[in-house]
Amino acid sequence: MTALQVDTLCKSFGGVRAVDEVSFTLGETELLALIGPNGAGKSTCFNMLNGQIRPDVGTIRLFGRDITGTPPRAVWRLGVGRTFQITATFGSMTVMENVQVALLSHHRRLRALIPYAGALYRDEAMALLDLVGMADQAARACGTLAYGDLKRLELAVALANEPRVLLMDEPTAGMAPQERVQLMRLTADIVRDKGVSVLFTEHDMDVVFGHADRVMVLDRGRLVAEGTPSEVRANAEVQQIYLGS
């Protein structure tokens, strides 16, 4: 079964064709990388996939179901997760509380938050924190977390929704090289253990080629290459885009 099937997706902003006839599939339990220079259209693709932006043309199917034009909240409910920026909104809450709120939201019990504060979904939240290696920081306020830890917390929050597909737009941006490798390893484990399909973008080519099952290359809105890491690395057009040679 195909997790995502994307057909001839197009999106223009004014005169700029940000995404130009992009078609691809994301297989079940696949770790698929979307790479390309700044402004290539990667984030615009992500924004269409989770319903934030409606495509001008094209269709998006999630496990065979047409979700084109479905609003973000409904897409989220259908199992398309996206890593969130936690810093701004929930910085004064603890790591544990952030995951509990995500679980309450997923189980449609957000209103239970006030009477039972702290008691609900503790074990489930702890299991998710354990999965991302954050169990020992459960009681910390997230505003005080190191950047890399915040990114791992974002992953735990996204997983609370039990996504079938996870979209990660530059999950390792701002991280030290070692942290990048760690987060990608963790993501690969999650793909394997939870059966999630992941589409991600990443600037560090060593991280991409070392971890992705498959790589797609976007340049000025168009997919110019697609294949295994070794195929894409050997592709002449890709070398030209990245090395200017």
Interface contacts to ligand ADP, rule CB under 6 A: 13, 16, 18, 36, 38-44
CB of 203 to Mg ion, least distance (A): 10
- Structure token pair of residue 113: 């938050």
CB of 122 to ligand ADP, least distance (A): 37
Nearest CB to ligand ADP, comparing residues 30 and 202: 202
Whether the Cβ atoms of residue 141 and residue 94 lie closer than 8 Å to each other: yes
CB of 46 to Mg ion, least distance (A): 8
CB of 197 to Mg ion, least distance (A): 20
143 CB-near residues (< 8 Å, 6+ apart) = 87, 91, 92
Nearest CB to ligand ADP, comparing residues 44 and 83: 44
Nearest CB to Mg ion, comparing residues 43 and 83: 43
Nearest to 181 by CA among 106, 241, 189, 38: 189
Whether the Cβ atoms of residue 188 and residue 130 lie closer than 8 Å to each other: no
Nearest CB to ligand ADP, comparing residues 41 and 163: 41
Alpha-carbon gap, residue 67 to 236, rounded angstroms: 35
Q: x/- contact string, 19-58, with Mg ion (CB under 5 A)?
A: -----------------------xx---------------
Nearest to 218 by CA among 54, 62, 48: 48
Q: Phi first, then psi: what are they for 150, rounded to 5°?
A: -60, -40
CB under 5 to 8 A by kind: which of ligand ADP, Mg ion, none does 116 bind? none
CB of 126 to ligand ADP, least distance (A): 35
